[in-house]
Amino acid sequence: MKKILLIILLFPLGVFAQFYSGTITFNDGTNKSGLIKLPKYKDSKLNFKSEKKAKTEKFSIENIKGFEITNDDDELENYIPMRVGNNKILNPKKFNIDKKKSFVKIIKQGKISVYAIRYISSTSSGRANGGINVVNNVADAYYLQRENDDFAFSIGTHRHDLNFLVGINFYVAIEFNFAEICPNFVNLLKEADLSVKEFSKIVDIYEENCN
């Protein structure tokens, strides 16, 4: 029974085990095309196969400039290494930043840039008939990088089963980090009332109104 339960609990995490067609670009300018496994938050290596039956190779994040994959919707997704973090609660003008880089998906780059990291977790509960019910919880954590910063800070997390951001308040994060750079930026974003699917427009609004 324990072995059966373990298999059931691990199965939903297979979303991350899937390999996608893609290309890795290394820091030295060389490329490697084949199959890429999407990395999780804080993964230090990227898993790669030259073909489906080939042995998996692992490449250090420190040697990778970025990579792209073709997702299940036949769309290109681009990823780069980036340190991420969040504003400190007691001193919000300072940050708690990861010491090591994670792979982040590019939503849009410009004078400021928006990135995302996907998280998938599972919860299980017992059924009256003795079975196990497992539910996948998928969430995208969004990050914003200011001009001249070498890191990106959290602007909220969107759980797919909810219709709003959780975690740090989006507008509070913007106000903390742009009050001196572009004081009206937060008001412009409130007026725009963007959904997470429109987060690329954050870059456009900044570039059109903030110098």
Q: 15-69 pLDDT, tens per residue?
A: 456 899 999 999 999 999 999 999 999 999 999 999 999 999 999 999 999 999 9
The better pLDDT of the pair 104, 160 is held by 104
Question: How big is the CA angle at 154 (ends 184 and 81), to the nearest 5 degrees?
Answer: 120
Residue 211 pLDDT: 81
- Among 3-17, 126-140, 187-201, the range of highest mean pLDDT: 187-201
Give yes or no for a contact between 69 and 155, defined as CB atoms under 8 angstroms apart: no
The better pLDDT of the pair 172, 129 is held by 172
Residue 135 pLDDT: 65
**Confidence band, pLDDT 50/70/90 cuts, at residue 166:** confident
Would you call 24 helix, strand, or coil by DSSP? strand
Residue 134 pLDDT: 62
73-94 mean pLDDT = 91
Kindly tell me if the per-residue pLDDT of 12 is higher than 50. Answer: no
Q: Which amino acid is at 147?
A: E
Residue 17 pLDDT: 60
Residue 10 pLDDT: 38
Half-sphere exposure of 2 (CA within 13 A, CB side): 0
134-148 mean pLDDT = 87
Residue 5 pLDDT: 40
Residue 9 pLDDT: 40
Q: Which amino acid is at 103?
A: F
Please tell me the least confidently modeled range out of 11-15, 45-49, 145-149. Answer: 11-15
Tens digits of per-residue pLDDT, 84-139? 999 888 787 789 999 999 999 999 999 999 999 988 766 655 565 666 766 677 88
**Confidence band, pLDDT 50/70/90 cuts, at residue 204:** very high
What DSSP line would sit under 28-65, residue for residue?
Answer: TS-EEEEEEEPPPTT--EEEEESSTTSPPEEEEGGGEE
